[in-house]
Amino acid sequence: MPAGFTSDEIMTVSAARMLRNGAICFVGIGLPSTAANLARLLHAPDAVLIYESGPIGARPAVLPLSIGDGSLAETADTVVSTPEIFRYWLQGGRVDTGFLGAAQLDRFANINTTVIGDYHKPDVRLPGAGGAPEIGISAKEVLVIVKQSRRSFVEKLDFITSAGFLTGGDARERAGIRGKGPIAVITDLCILRPDRETRELTVSSIHPGITREQIRANTGWEVRFSDDCGTTEPPGEEELATLRDLLARTAKAHGATGVAA
Amino acid sequence: MAQWSSLSEAIAAHVHDGDFVALEGFTHLIPFAAGHEIIRQGRRGLALVRMTPDLIHDQMIGAGCAAKLTFSWGGNPGVGSLHRFRDAVENGWPAPLAIEERSHSDLANAYVAGAANLPFAVLRGYVGSSFEPMCPHVRSIVCPFTGERLAATPSIRPDVAIVHAQKADHKGNVLLWGILGVQKEAVLAAKRSIVTVEERVKSLDAPANACILPGWVVDAVCLVPRGAAPSYAHGYYDRDNAFYLRWDAISRERESFRAWLKEHVLDTADFAEYLRVLAGKSSQEAVR
């Protein structure tokens, strides 16, 4: 990794860049919330952030620790009930971009946040679905931000919580899913995009200083690289300064618990 | 019609062993005091439902109150796993816990269906996921008008719903604001309801479209200041983020959890005493 920024920083900055100014964005807590708020502070001041707890158009000064922090309600254009968020705003077709994290995903960007192991006798019980199954269906497109490792990028999921491209090809369309699905997966090593035909996640951009061997070593399937695979543009000065300032303000506001939420 | 009563009387009157109980709150206004009182009174065999079970459900599950949990996201927000929940699911301790797993959209819709006196909820959901093959409560229905296949799930009709709110007046009309979650739907879907509030006021003084539960849909109203702590009550107090972090260590092992539960919940008379014990602990830790 070149001096000047960390792998977490380039992951967050790369993900933030993907959010279009003016996009209506349904934001998951954690890394997606960090990236979406960074985008709002940089190139996307008119992005509308929707949180599943009810705030629409939230502009928190520091990152929320939980999906229902008071700062989200205080800075939002309006706060609606949770049924309304899911019924009118998400299912109603008003969300451009769903911004999700993942515990595990497979080569077709299907996501698991439910269990590892047998569903009825799990090795690890994960938190569960939250909003992800319907965000993955109803948002016009989906961005996924996740740290890449053999634990997170697996050959086969034990449970599909949220559909990506299912078994690849046109399986998603055949299942009758309306949204386009994941358009990019942004990790601490690279950016992957679905292949136009097979819909398999393919490395399209490698972060500076990362080798193809490192990416292979951290992927649970035989990962492919696109023909025009390039190098990710390193975070610029303003991007880094804004991210660091946001995280510092967050840590100050939340005290010792101010880990990047 | 709402009766003002103590929380212990309300739980004794309305929450029985084996009941289907909703305690709701989406990060905000979580009814911690009521959950503690359920533990104190030793309820057993409860079927619990909550969209986002967190620390209070971890405590009730670890205390042995629950036989089943219906939920859509179970975790310690911003911190990690619920260790008591996981111990119950993965190892059956202190008792096996059946789970009925939903998505947020499903469970929110299922409360709406319950409040609307319908047998099931319909949503564009779960397509392509493992839910329909793995979870028998997730099924599908064909729209009689368009032929579209949609997800159908049973509505949520609790025996009793318990929520926390900011204010109630002398008639038991309840006002809540900020992040509302599914509290109104949970109360309207349930046969009985208990509301704990921060403040008892002469008049709610609320605008016309405010979220108000009229006293005649509520059974018991209880004055419990800070009754949502360590979560927050908008306009009253902030979330105690440090406690959520500390819970990870307290709950990780069965013995440390049991010791905490005994000292803070089982051996305290009510939530006010719990808060005093907790405050004493925190200041001791600060001195160290």
pLDDT of residue A258: 39
Count of C-beta atoms within a 10 Å radius of residue A59: 18
In sequence order, the β-bridge partners of residue B152 are: B122, B139
Listed in sequence order, the residues at least 6 apart from B90 whose beta carbon sits closer than 8 Å to its beta carbon are A122, A123, A124, A125
Both tokens of B25, joined, read 């709150």
Cα separation, A5 vs A59, in Å, equals 26
Enter the tokens of residue B170.
């002398």
Count how many pairs of residues, chain A against chain B, have C-beta atoms within 8 Å. 178
Q: What is the pLDDT of residue B214?
A: 97
ipTM of the complex: 0.94
As a whole number, mean pLDDT of residues A112-119 equals 94
- In this prediction, residues A19-45 reach a mean pLDDT of 96
Per-residue confidence (pLDDT) for residue A254, from 0 to 100: 81
Residues in chain A, total: 261
CA angle at B54 for the pair B69 and A258, rounded to the nearest 5°: 160
Mean pLDDT of A5-18: 97
The one-letter amino acid at A48: V
Nearest-10 crossing angle of helices B271-287, B32-40: 110
Interface test with A, best of B127, B148, B236 (most A CBs within 10 A): B127
- pLDDT of B158-213, one tens digit each? 999 999 999 999 999 999 999 999 999 999 999 999 999 999 999 999 999 999 99
CA A136 – CA A161 distance, rounded (Å)? 10
Kindly determine whether residue B78 and residue A128, on different chains, have CB atoms separated by under 8 Å. Answer: no
pLDDT in tens, B4-52: 999 999 999 999 999 999 999 999 999 999 999 999 999 999 999 999 9
Q: How many other C-beta atoms are found inside a 10 Å radius of the C-beta of residue A4? A: 12
Interval A193-210: pLDDT, tens? 999 999 999 999 999 999
pLDDT over 50 at A260, yes or no:
no
pLDDT of residue B77: 87
pLDDT at B286: 59
Task: Please say if the pLDDT value at position A261 is more than 50.
Answer: no
Q: Which CATH code for domain A7-258?
A: 3.40.1080.10
Which of residues 59 through 88 in chain A touch B, CB cutoff 8 A? 65-70, 72-73, 79-83, 85-87
Give residue A121's pLDDT: 87
What pTM value is reported for the model? 0.95
What distance lies between CA A194 and its chain's CA centroid? 15
List the domain boundaries for chain A: 7-258
User: Taking the mean position of all CA atoms in its chain, how far away is CA A142?
Assistant: 8
- pLDDT at site B35: 98
> What pLDDT is recorded for position A65?
85
Torsion of CA B9, B14, B18, B20, to 10 degrees: -130
**pLDDT beyond 90 at B147:** yes
